[in-house]
Amino acid sequence: MKNGREYVDSLRKLNTKVYLFGELLEDPCEHAMLRPHVNAARLTFDLAFSPRYEDLMTAVSHLTGHKINRFTSIHQSCDDLVKKVKMLRTIAQMTGSCFQRCVGFDALNAIYTVSYEMDKALGTSYHRRFRDYLVRIQDNDLMVAGSMTDPKGDRSLPPGKQSDPDLYMRVVSEDEKGIVLRGAKAHMTGIVNSHEMLIMPTAALSPEDKAYAVACAIPVDAPGVLHIFGRQTNDERRLYGGRIDQGNAQYGIVGGEALTVLEDVFVPWENVFMCGETQYAGLLVERFASYHRQNYGGCKGGVSDVVTGAAALLAEYNGVSKVSHIKDKLIEMILLTETLYSGSLACSYEGKPTASGAYFVDPLLANVTKQNVTRYIYEIDRLAQDIAGGFIATLPSDRDLDSREVGGYVRKYFAGVSSVPVEDRMRMARLVENMTGGTALVESMHGAGSPQAQRVMLARQANLEGKKELARILAGIQKNNSETCGRGLHNFEHKGYEKEGR
Ligand code: SF4
């Protein structure tokens, strides 16, 4: 396993092309705009060496028997799925932010399970290749970016009907050595400080879109790959080093996303895990999406713990912590946070083995969890802003606080209770401002898929016909016509909640 220092050193050896403000960065890891995200990812390496967190942060490779970082493992049990959620909440409590490494973790597990099923059904050799790749990732403790979302252009058209065929990632040629890819992947969490990316299709595909059914591994600094770093709300505060104004100067907000462009990138066959099997594209997307939606009650639970704590402290600093409606709002924040966490735990405890032996979450509960995140985080953050007060949006900068001319006024007029230093009140206000605003909210809405994507899965997984059958039996109605059976008793033959998908 790598520790954090070794992780950062290994990034420096890469030739990752990162563009920011239209310019190529010389040392991306050291740039003020990227450094907080590197710090957050770094924690996933350092914590693996902490005796306190070792059980959550490490696993034993089922392929080699080696001790590995859990972020490179394949789930071997429901206990592994549960530990994943607990690990994410723990790290999020420390960072208050996204530590990025889960996307690749989920891609590893999704491709592992689907490549096995492809080989069994089609006689391909993708799974064997993938196992070799996985051992390399595990033994070298590499950070992998999961690469799913294509730019998609006109959303009403399938990949092959777009006016520009590159709007979905596609194979442009292949020979006996490998394939050549062209296109882009959007919203790439942690890509600029990863070692590898795992490309997957972005949606279910029809047979005519064969060129778009591709899964493969590519180093982030492969020839032909470049990354254009995305902006975030208030990110320019990092550039002048505002120690208070950044809110979370150490770990930043959200994951540090980029648009990754692949301009005719060669991938050798040993790193290709799907090529043209359109019938498996939808399954791979669903597996990956469900694994990633499982996470959100963990990581957002941890982030919400920090937001709740910040709101409670600001209530104290403002002298209102004993007011009954403030207490009640904090209780509501706790309720919503634990509801999110419950969903992540539930879909993990209800996990099942796939044909490959790797465990998969309950997809219905995983999608419920993420759907709740698209609502509850907004409510948690709304309550935090309500408790904090309007000054989180009107506070002067830390340079005003330090100013010889006006610093005295800032200290005088931004004071709360006299026992709390003004700077502490300002720090907490900035933390709430940044954790509950702009980019953080949008990430909760669209990260791991937009709300409608979860609703499609809910409709598919929820066995509405089974629910109708339950109602029919209780109402005493025969199944094949509207004739009543004269009693409301079950015949105990229906499966009800025992059925897969309920
Ligand atoms: Fe992990 Fe959460 Fe970030 Fe997704 S949003 S990569 S689950 S920390």
Encode pLDDT of 101-136 as tens digits. Answer: 999 999 999 999 999 999 999 999 999 999 999 999
- The residues, any chain, with a CB within 8 Å of residue 130's CB and separated by 6 or more, are 111, 112, 115, 273
- Which of 29, 117, 292, 337 is an active site residue? 292
- Which of 7, 296, 317, 376 is an active site residue? 296
447 lines ligand 1 (CB under 6 A): yes
299 lines ligand 1 (CB under 6 A): yes
449 lines ligand 1 (CB under 6 A): no
* Residue type at 200 in one-letter notation: M
Going from the Cα of 299 to the center of ligand 1, the distance in angstroms, rounded, reads: 6
- Is 332 marked active-site? no
**Exposure of 243 by Cβ count < 10 A (0-12 exposed, 13-18 middle, 19+ buried)?**
middle
- Is 196 marked active-site? no
Rounded distance, CA 323 to CA 336, Å?
A: 21
pLDDT of res. 242: 78
Of all residues in the chain, what percent carry a pLDDT higher than 90? 92
**CA atoms within 13 A of residue 55's CA, in its CB half-sphere:** 5
Rounded distance, CA 199 to CA 273, Å?
A: 9
More confident residue, 502 or 371: 371
168 lines ligand 1 (CB under 6 A): no
102 lines ligand 1 (CB under 6 A): yes
Rounded distance, CA 393 to CA 385, Å?
A: 9
- Which of 196, 277, 286, 443 is an active site residue? 443
189 lines ligand 1 (CB under 6 A): yes
What phi and psi values does residue 181 have, to the nearest 5 degrees? -110, 145
User: What pairs with residue 484 in β-bridges?
Assistant: 477
Rounded distance, CA 102 to CA 143, Å?
A: 9
297 lines ligand 1 (CB under 6 A): no
pLDDT of res. 500: 53
What is the mean pLDDT of the segment spanning 454-460? Answer: 93
pLDDT of res. 403: 97
- Is 292 marked active-site? yes
* Residue type at 170 in one-letter notation: R
CB 181 within 8 A of CB 262: yes
- Is 176 marked active-site? no
Beta strands in 143-213 (DSSP E): 144-147, 170-174, 178-185, 196-199
What would the pLDDT profile of 263-281 be if each residue is shown by its tens digit?
999 999 999 999 999 999 9
103 lines ligand 1 (CB under 6 A): yes
CB 185 within 8 A of CB 215: no
- Is 490 marked active-site? no
CB atoms closer than 10 angstroms to residue 118: 23
Atom of ligand 1 nearest to the CA of 97: 8
pLDDT mean across residues, the chain:
94
| Ligand 1 mutation pick, 189, 305, 306, 374, max ligand atoms within 8 A of CB | 189
What would the pLDDT profile of 155-213 be if each residue is shown by its tens digit?
999 999 999 999 999 999 999 999 999 999 999 999 999 999 999 999 999 999 999 99
What would the pLDDT profile of 354-389 be if each residue is shown by its tens digit?
999 999 999 999 999 999 999 999 999 999 999 999
Residue nearest to atom 3 of ligand 1 (CA): 98
Going from the Cα of 449 to the center of ligand 1, the distance in angstroms, rounded, reads: 12
DSSP strand pairing (196-199 vs 144-147): parallel
- Is 98 marked active-site? yes
Rounded distance, CA 192 to CA 15, Å?
A: 11
pLDDT of res. 478: 84
Rounded distance, CA 81 to CA 358, Å?
A: 10
Split at pLDDT 50, 70, 90, the class of 241 is: confident
Going from the Cα of 472 to the center of ligand 1, the distance in angstroms, rounded, reads: 42
pLDDT of res. 310: 98
Going from the Cα of 362 to the center of ligand 1, the distance in angstroms, rounded, reads: 19
SS3 273: strand
What would the pLDDT profile of 211-229 be if each residue is shown by its tens digit?
999 999 999 999 999 999 9
- Is 257 marked active-site? yes
